[in-house]
Structure 1
Amino acid sequence: MVERSGPADTSERLEGPASRADPLPALPKAVDLLRALIGIDIRTVSGKPNTILAVRGDIVIVRTERSPEGEPVPVSTVQKGLNLLATQGSVRVTPGELGHRSSFVGAVLAVLPGARFTGKPTVVVLGEPPTDDHHNGPVDSTAQVKIRLEQGRLRSRLARGRTSARCVLCGDLFPLDFLVAAHIKKRAACSDDERRDLGNVAMLACTFGCDALYESGWITVDDNGHVRTRPPDEVPQGSMRDRLSRLRGRPCTAYTSSSAPYFEWHRTMIFKA
């Protein structure tokens, strides 16, 4: 028989996900999570809004009703909460557990996919990420965070540890800040298996035009692996026409036999021939 020590409110933790045999979901680093939340309104358990304005080194600037200009909070306080959540499966939203900014830290943790507030005193419990973006907090915030975090992980995977890489469409070399992990087949149209096919369903495209042109259907990749564009003379003379002319016929380095079906979907469904 296992003895339980401490106050009765720890029962939530002992009965929560930490007691399960299956492993808990991997959590992001605090700095990555906070950057993904910049500009998104998150709510404490009492419903008060907190907005992350910026992440500056080891400090995050947080706007609250009392501090509309924002006040600094150490990133380390959020990392502590993530560490506890990752090892225990739950964490109490109290100053004794998370420091004097526990309400803010709890609000950040609760936006994680699969996390929720419960109990009194409040506990953040981590479960399996939902499949329908449902959350007992703001649904839009949860969806945005999930997609932003997935984007960061996917971009890192495609970059393979490099700090800079070439856009697969134009071939130019960029720091990773100017590359996105663009889905070859739109993410919303992918099956679960296709979304997990990370090495083939996405590509690194630059934010200097290639990502937007591909996303909007102005360019695609043909069945020979070369960039196909709408006629450049369909747009006025200028940078867009020049870029279309430059891209036309270029080899796409992301085109392989495994990624070909995704490019075919894009040609059929998105490209405006």
Structure 2
Amino acid sequence: MPVVLATVRDMEALRKKLGRAQGKIGRNPDGNATKQIRLRLRVPGYAADDADRLAADLAKAANRGKAPDASALLRSLIGDPIETVTGSVNTIVEVKQKQVLVTTDRSPLGQWVDIADVEAGLEKLHAQGSVLVTVDELGHRSSFVGAVLATIPGTVVSLRPAIVTLHDPKFPVRIRKFTVLDGSAQVTTRKEQRELRRLLLGGRTAAPCDLCGHDYPGDFLVAAHIKKRSLCTDDERNDLTNVAMLACKFGCDSLFESGHITVDDTGRVLSWFEDGLRGRLRDHLNQLHGRPCGAHRTSSQPYFAWHRDNVYRG
């Protein structure tokens, strides 16, 4: 029967248990109970021919860094389906100060999960290097917590038992090779997207970004939803004049989507400056901070309020 070493707290007790079990095997009345045994180990992220790489990695001091902020991580995942180790899909709908609302196929209206459970899982993963995706290890919402942990760069998920292991983000991922590269797939289209873009451009071939104010050709502007489209109702998706804005591909669209910037209730851009931030990104956030947003008005204010509450990192 396999032994999951990640769950073993007393290695000396395990050694004695193995010794007692093998002592009765192949007993020779003229000899002693000492025998050689072969142990087979399975290490997440390593194959049988990776012994040299595993030895080199074990020889290096562990440097897993600081656990990410749980609330910021959860906000970055809002609206994106994340899979549990068993393949079930969870979607984060809303993030509050202490809880996160998560929908599943079984709970389409969503259930609240304590952010403290995610924080505890992140701390365990960074302290131990790996965690079992079990109730004992991660709490009663272990499947969701495990799915969140698996989104961190450098993690490897193994099954039977389900374990999330954290490696360096530069960990050499094994890439699947495809003999046939072309295939067909069923694609879900956004029926209103073309009309939304046409409406925002208003017949112009170039227009200003609603966040930075710089003029760009239309090909470099995105019809960006202020509230994540995946979480909008059909009525909100059809509110074309208010639910979206023009954001440039030169940073503003990504910064808004990632929560580095938002728009306050007066229509001014707010920038979030994380500790130690420097260089070009800080300069750009400085330039955006306090600028008027061209898409802010009374009718679009509820969508910006949603973004501040659920996506903005500040």
Q: TM-score, normalised by structure 1?
A: 0.49
Q: TM-score, normalised by structure 2?
A: 0.43
- Structure with bigger helix share is 1
